[in-house]
Amino acid sequence: MSKNHEFNQEIDVVMRVMRHAQAAVKSRFIQEVVPSRLTIVQFNALQHLHWYGRESGMSVSELGEHLGLAHNTVSGLVSRLEKHGWVVRRKCDKDRRRARIQLTPQSEQLFRERVKHATDFWQHTFGQLSTADQENLIGSLKKLKQVMAKPVWPSYAQLHPRDADHLREKFETELDELAQAKLKLVGIRLILARIAEKRNEHELAAYLNQAASEEIRHTNQLFTLLGHGEHFDRLLSALIDEDQIVYEELLTLLDNAPCTEDDEELNLLQQMLQDSHRYRRWFRDVHKQTNR
């Protein structure tokens, strides 16, 4: 057996050990996060705030760029973290209309404990070796560090270019997210208007209906600016796809519903399924006619 072949086998062992060490550290990390009732995505958000926003915090847009998530997704993520005391929103000194997201003392304590947990983990691991083995291993690791190339990380600007095309694309994406958020507000306002009518709060119902009408106008204007009106067929096709997803979810709910035939929830789901089936058939027919 050649020396090169033997060396390649040793390298394979080193790589397996490194992967095993990474898996051990990751599992320990997850064990730390779970008791805090944090998801991995939530912890990643806290970690970026810890690394890059310890002094002045970060805006929702900045945090979204770091995490690679949409503005609406990050906004909901921050709201959940704020609800459980991990972050706080503070008004920006330069622009009082904007908020900066900052870690709370509870989050800072989590990161202090994480350093301690990591130290304890490695002390326990190395503690199982003899003193001589510890010295030899540490010496070898120091030599390995000396011969390894110094890591050169791309800058934040390189990872997140801010040229004119990028900024325009980002702006249009945020406009589209705003339009989608306004669509949700339309539905909520109309539902609340129905409830207000049943409670004989007619003035409130009228206000909610008017607000919903204005939201529809704003959303339509946003869609026009974004050129969505030029892609009507594509939007209609996407709506049909969404209806199919809802239809399948209703079927799953009916299959798993812990209800009897007389339960109100089951009757409602069955009615929704019938309505959804009717919508799908009608929209498919309209789509076929527009494509002729």
**Residue at token pair 């003899």:** 130
| Max intra-chain CA distance, the chain | 90
Residue 237's identity, in one-letter code, is S
Residue 261's identity, in one-letter code, is E
The span from the CA of 270 to the CA of 253, in Å, is 10
**E strands, the chain, in order:** 87-91, 99-103
Q: What is the structure's pLDDT at 130? A: 94
Distance spanning both ends of the chain, measured CA to CA:
72
The span from the CA of 63 to the CA of 48, in Å, is 7
Question: Please, which pLDDT band fits residue 21 given cuts at 50, 70 and 90?
Answer: confident
The span from the CA of 53 to the CA of 69, in Å, is 17
Among 37-51, 156-170, 230-244, 271-285, the range of highest mean pLDDT: 37-51
- What DSSP assignment string belongs to 209-222? HHHHHHHHHHHHHH
The span from the CA of 36 to the CA of 43, in Å, is 10
Q: What percent of the chain has pLDDT over 70?
A: 86
Q: How many alpha carbons fall within 13 Å on the CB side of residue 122?
A: 10
Q: How many alpha carbons fall within 13 Å on the CB side of residue 189?
A: 18
Q: What is the mean pLDDT of residues 181-210?
A: 91
Q: What is the mean pLDDT of residues 125-134?
A: 92
34, pLDDT greater than 80:
no
Question: Please, which pLDDT band fits residue 39 given cuts at 50, 70 and 90?
Answer: confident
Q: What is the mean pLDDT of residues 51-73?
A: 83
Q: What is the mean pLDDT of residues 102-108?
A: 93
User: What pLDDT digit, counting tens, does each position of 197-239 carry?
Assistant: 999 999 999 999 999 999 999 888 888 888 876 667 777 777 7
The span from the CA of 48 to the CA of 200, in Å, is 49
Q: What is the mean pLDDT of residues 137-151?
A: 84
Single out the residue of 119, 105, 120 nearest to residue 50, CA to CA: 105
Looking at the DSSP bridge assignments, the partners of residue 89 are 101
Looking at the DSSP bridge assignments, the partners of residue 103 are 87
**Residue at token pair 């970060």:** 58
Looking at the DSSP bridge assignments, the partners of residue 87 are 103
The whole-angstrom distance between residue 210's C-alpha and the CA centroid of its chain comes to: 33
pTM above 0.85, yes or no: no
* C-beta separation of 91 from 99 below 8 A: yes
A 10 A CB-CB count for 119 gives: 10
A 10 A CB-CB count for 47 gives: 16
Looking at the DSSP bridge assignments, the partners of residue 90 are 100
